[in-house]
Amino acid sequence: MSGQKAKTMISLKNINKSYVTGSNSLHVLKGIDLEIEAGEFVSIMGSSGSGKSTLLNILGILDNYDEGEYYLNGTQVKNMTEKKAAKLRNELVGFVFQSFNLISFKNAMENVALPLYYQGVNRKKRNKIALEYLDKMGLLEWAEHMPNEMSGGQKQRVAIARSLISKPKIIFADEPTGALDTSTSYEVMNILKEINAEGITIIIVTHEHDIAAMTQKIIRLNDGVIAEIIKNGDLKDWKQQYAKEFEMTLVRE
Ligand SMILES: Nc1ncnc2c1ncn2[C@@H]1O[C@H](COP(=O)(O)OP(=O)(O)O)[C@@H](O)[C@H]1O
Ligand SMILES: [Mg+2]
């Protein structure tokens, strides 16, 4: 870092979001203030329905917010046209999802190459680059395989390769290990750690304590507000606290 001030990647001030369906309005995010610096590896935790995905969708410019201010890498994100949002996403952002979101009738290489197709890169070139990213994920031999021929862990690695191919500054991952067994989950987290070590900011949503504990900063959402931010140094205590909670549930059962 050579003494330079860290660069702010995400800045949220008083973000509010409601879903309106018919005559009902559900206030999901109730004033979120948050700063995330470039290069951080952050997890967002909270019980089901606490607003994690809603927050991540706003951060990834997949959805609008009603009130507040959002700056992504210095650009104000507010009522953007879909065209402008898509441009910013293409330049800056990669996405990883719980259910992988691979295209079932395209092989691994074609899935990874897809963002380059949308950028107008010709087939030969985009497939060559896709193979390089598959290789990085240890999946070169799987390039010609279809998603239904791959394990969950392999599919998620294909999805991670796809998220990296447009050289994003930030990766958003909504429950990236939610569909994986424990050892495969740790494998995927280790890949994300390596990617983060190369300088890419990573923000994941998870409801698993052990997965969150592998990140540098845990943001705990509760009913649409940030209840707690747990940083590296505090993590050990937090793990102990979690261990106690875990024991208590065991005792109760
Ligand atoms: N598109 C939507 N329309 C209406 N309600 C929604 C929509 N998306 C989410 N919700 C509701 O908003 C709340 C927060 O959802 P979500 O952000 O998905 O929570 P989490 O990811 O933490 O489980 C939930 O009560 C959910 O049912
Ligand atoms: Mg969710």
pLDDT single digits (tens) 7-28: 999 999 999 999 999 999 999 9
Residue 30 lies in a domain: no
Which of 21, 28, 52 has most ligand 1 atoms within 8 Å of CB, for mutation? 28
Residue matched to tokens 């969950």: 152
pTM passes above 0.75 = yes
Residue 143 lies in a domain: yes
Ligand 1 atom closest to 54 (CA) = 17
The pLDDT value recorded for residue 183 is: 93
Q: What is the C-alpha separation between 234 and 216, in angstroms, rounded?
A: 10
Q: Would you give the distance in Å from CA 248 to the centre of its chain?
A: 31
Residue 25 lies in a domain: no
Which CATH number is 192's domain given?
Answer: 3.40.50.300
Ligand 2 center–CA 131 separation, angstroms = 31
> 28 in ligand 1 pocket by Cβ < 6 Å?
yes
Residue 101 lies in a domain: yes
Shortest-distance Cα residue to atom 7 of ligand 1? 19
Report the percentage of the chain scoring pLDDT > 90.
Answer: 85
Residue 49 lies in a domain: yes
Ligand 2 center–CA 171 separation, angstroms = 16
**Per-residue confidence at 1, pLDDT binned at 50, 70, 90?**
very low
> 153 in ligand 1 pocket by Cβ < 6 Å?
no
Tell me: pLDDT of 203 over 60: yes
- CB within 8 Å of 243: residues ≥ 6 apart: none
Q: What is the pLDDT of residues 71-126, one digit of tens each?
A: 999 999 998 999 999 999 999 999 999 999 999 999 999 999 999 998 899 999 99
Q: Which residue would you say has higher pLDDT here, 207 or 164?
A: 164
**What's at 235, amino acid-wise?**
L
The pLDDT value recorded for residue 4 is: 59
Residue 28 lies in a domain: no
Q: Please report which helix (H) or strand (E) contains residue 192, including its range.
A: helix 182-197
Q: Are 218 and 45 in contact (CB under 8 A)?
A: yes
Region 172-201: what's the mean pLDDT? 96
Residue 22 lies in a domain: no
92: left (phi over 0), alpha (psi -120 to 50) or beta: alpha
> 48 in ligand 1 pocket by Cβ < 6 Å?
yes
> 21 in ligand 1 pocket by Cβ < 6 Å?
yes
With CA atoms as reference, report the closest residue to 111 among 180, 160, 62.
Answer: 160
The pLDDT value recorded for residue 232 is: 75
Give the pairing of strands 201-205 and 170-174: parallel
Ligand 1 center–CA 181 separation, angstroms = 25
**Per-residue confidence at 190, pLDDT binned at 50, 70, 90?**
very high
Q: What is the pLDDT of residues 33-78, one digit of tens each?
A: 999 999 999 999 998 999 999 999 999 999 999 999 999 999 999 9
> 19 in ligand 1 pocket by Cβ < 6 Å?
yes
Shortest-distance Cα residue to atom 11 of ligand 1? 49
Domain that holds residue 234: 38-63+81-252
Q: What is the C-alpha separation between 173 and 60, in angstroms, rounded?
A: 10
The pLDDT value recorded for residue 6 is: 76
Q: What is the C-alpha separation between 58 and 224, in angstroms, rounded?
A: 13
Tell me: pLDDT of 217 over 90: yes
Helix-then-strand count for the chain, H and E: 8, 10
Residue 88 lies in a domain: yes
Ligand 1 center–CA 54 separation, angstroms = 6
Say how many domains are in the chain: 1
**Per-residue confidence at 247, pLDDT binned at 50, 70, 90?**
low
Arithmetic mean of pLDDT over the chain? 92
